[in-house]
Amino acid sequence: MIATTSVRALSKVGRVRTQIDDLGFHVDLPDEVERVVSLVPSLTEAIAATRPQALVGATDWCTHPADLDVPRVRGTKNPDVAAIAELAPDLVVANKEENRELDVKRLRDKGIAVWVTDIETVPQALDSMRRLFTEALGWGSPGWLDEADALWRMSAGRAGEVGGSADTRRVVVPIWRDPWMVVGRPTYTADLLQCLGCDAVVPDGAEGRYPHADLADLDDPSRADLVLLPDEPYVFTADDGPEAFVEVPTELISGRLITWYGPAMVEAARTLPAVLRR
């Protein structure tokens, strides 16, 4: 397998180590990474919470922490490769779902080291981030990750231990309207809800990660107990979303709590159980 090489990493240090990212790609890195560009909002928050001085670039969609002040490199699907190269990162952090393979290849073709994460479950999130921080970045395990690990490992039995009940609650999670689309499987969100004793339901016969759905199938109490309306990617609000559901109760929720891995996992484990059992 061909390894990618960070020109800056090789030129500034005498020792280089090779680590393997979540997709099996060999990445050459300095002993300790000092400059990072993140193309994933949740990982941007994770890096900023751990070593903010190392974050030298992020996407326009990286909204946490609220006071984040770093150069922006456009979006997750259209990063400015030239601008990233100008920032001379030791490492660019990406994600299989969030970012395009083409953009990762373009960065690697410029000699920039890219670490790609692949996360579809809560355990994968914990393991992937631990590898990112200890193996790729060389920073050791951050405290928020140890806390998140402790909170979520207790749900390993998938019986709702974190939520305090073994009863499965059927939950619909729309991510778009007109047309309506919902969270399916395999997704991090569906697995997180399962860890909390909930089942992310989709219309009969619907398949895939984010299938389309008819509103009538979603607003059906024989199928669902609760509709969670997040504020991303579609921004559901008190005036845009709840009015569509007459039969099934709705709950507005921060999309960050159900889609972001990183420090948000600590907040999610502590606050979501109460939300889901209202």
Share of the chain above pLDDT 70, in %: 90
For residue range 201-247, list pLDDT tens digits in order.
Answer: 999 888 899 999 999 999 999 999 999 999 999 999 999 999 999 99
| Predicted confidence band of residue 15 (pLDDT cuts 50, 70, 90) | low
| Backbone φ, ψ for residue 106 (5° rounding) | -60, -40
For the residues 7-33, what does the mean pLDDT come to? 80
CB-based contacts of 158, cutoff 8 Å, min separation 6: 194, 195
Domains along the sequence of the chain with CATH: 4-141 (3.40.50.1980), 157-276 (3.40.50.1980)
For the residues 178-204, what does the mean pLDDT come to? 95
| Predicted confidence band of residue 278 (pLDDT cuts 50, 70, 90) | confident
DSSP state of 62: -
pLDDT at 163 over 70: no
Average pLDDT of the chain, as a whole number: 91
Amino acid 38: pLDDT: 98
- Whether the pTM exceeds 0.85: the reply is yes
**What pairs with residue 37 in β-bridges?**
57, 92
